[in-house]
Amino acid sequence: EIRDLKDLAVNGAPPAFIEPLHVGRPNIGDREEFLRRVEAILDNQWLTNNGPMVQEFERRIAGYLGVKHCIAMCNGTIALEIAIRALGLEGEVIVPSWTFVATAHALYWQGITPIFADIDPATHNLDPAAVRRMITPRTSGIIGVHLWGRAAPVDELQAIADEHGLKLMFDAAHAFGSTYRRRSIGSFGACEVFSFHATKAFNTMEGGAVTTNDDELAEAMRLMRNFGFKGYDNVIHPGTNGKMIEVCAAMGLANLDALDAVLDANHRNHQEYRRALAEIPGITLLEYDPAERNSHHYVVLEIDEAFPVGRDLIIAALHAENILARKYFWPGCHGMQPYRGLFPHAGLLLPNTIAAAERVIVLPAGAAVSAAEVQAACDVVRVLALPP
């Protein structure tokens, strides 16, 4: 039990956990259902290329999100790339720097310059006023990110896009099952892109999807996902290989059936974290709007000056206990290669991003994390806050 500084592994005590406690432990839904589906795939001898499992998955996801089209992909990054191409983005596209680097890379990989705009420190999402400041004659679009599953300011970004004739799409990698104004994320902007990576609340091992209500855009993305083929021997579009395989769709279908249980566990853990951390000065737990749905998959702590030790020391203390807390998405995309140095005024333009990058700790979450484990992680933080 961790009650005092001397109980900490950084101070020589044995670590709280033998096995590491991960931030992104995959949620594994109905194992029997998954294995049954894998048997069906093997019996069927149809492993990929728009097979029956992927088609069922797309129908179920579109229904779940209340959107017309779901185009399943091999991962969220390729889904972003295909959506960006299908939308015809070019030149410069405004994105937050405070996001996973895939948002920026998906643009850069296609010769488009990501232009980083600052965030609202209260929500960690794009600040519409900052977006306006970054518009130039070369700007073709905006990619909003629903960071930590909290909706970006959709209406404000849409108004800016309309005013300036820009395309708007969303990186919804964190936001499966989240809502904006009580409507499911998935049908905002021209399209929205999900990641179903193993570490996400809802996973297909690797996987992703683009969702849209736009028939033409959906058709273009279906072609691009499969080398531009329309039927046998008939290539009518440039394309790549963005297909989801049958086994991944099977995992998704089994996990979709178990999603409510995962969300309940996440919600419980988040409340447990909130309770255990409430009295500690110098830390803030990022809250989720109770009026909106959210997976509560990210437990995001912000450390401020009132806390007696720095953020990195807290992380070091947690790691010593085998609690592998993370500082996603430090230092912000603008500080990563190849973007580092391309934006010499980042310090002036991205003060809220830089502040968030120095303050954030993401703690273990997911259905595999127990109340006792939450308590242990919180005990480490509580003890570090004690006067020496």
Q: Which window, 35-43, 85-93, 192-200, 298-306, contacts ligand T4K (CB under 6 A)?
A: 192-200
User: What is the distance of C-alpha 178 from the center of its chain?
Assistant: 11
CB half-sphere exposure, 297, CA atoms < 13 A: 30
Q: Are 176 and 196 in contact (CB under 8 A)?
A: yes
Residue 38 φ/ψ, nearest 5 degrees: -65, -40
Q: Which window, 7-15, 16-24, 27-35, 290-298, contacts ligand T4K (CB under 6 A)?
A: 16-24
Under the binding rule (CB under 6 A), the answer on residue 145 touching ligand T4K is: yes
Residues between 66 and 105 that touch ligand T4K (CB under 6 A) = 75-77, 99-100, 102-103
Q: Which window, 36-44, 169-177, 238-246, 349-357, contacts ligand T4K (CB under 6 A)?
A: 169-177
Cα angle 324, 194, 67 (rounded to 5 degrees) comes to 145
Least distance CB 23 / ligand T4K (angstroms): 5
Residues between 325 and 344 that touch ligand T4K (CB under 6 A) = 328
Most distant pair of Cα atoms in the chain: their distance: 73
Q: Which window, 161-169, 193-201, 337-345, 349-357, contacts ligand T4K (CB under 6 A)?
A: 193-201
Which residues fall within 8 angstroms of residue 248, CB to CB, at 6 or more apart?
Answer: 74, 196, 204, 205, 206, 207
Assigned token pair, 203: 């996973």
Tracing tokens 């954030």 back to the chain, one arrives at 360
Least distance CB 51 / ligand T4K (angstroms): 20
Q: Are 222 and 207 in contact (CB under 8 A)?
A: no
Q: Are 297 and 201 in contact (CB under 8 A)?
A: yes
Under the binding rule (CB under 6 A), the answer on residue 198 touching ligand T4K is: yes
Tracing tokens 């970054």 back to the chain, one arrives at 134
Under the binding rule (CB under 6 A), the answer on residue 240 touching ligand T4K is: no
Tracing tokens 């519409």 back to the chain, one arrives at 128
Least distance CB 388 / ligand T4K (angstroms): 31
Q: For ligand T4K, give the closer residue by CB, 25 or 132.
A: 25
Asked whether the bond before 344 is cis by omega within 30 degrees of 0, the reply is: no
Under the binding rule (CB under 6 A), the answer on residue 324 touching ligand T4K is: yes
The three-class DSSP label of residue 350 is coil
Least distance CB 20 / ligand T4K (angstroms): 7
Under the binding rule (CB under 6 A), the answer on residue 173 touching ligand T4K is: yes
Q: What residue is closest to ligand T4K based on CB?
A: 76
> Interface with ligand T4K by CB under 6 A: which residues?
22-26, 75-77, 99-100, 102-103, 145, 171, 173-174, 195, 197-199, 208, 324, 328
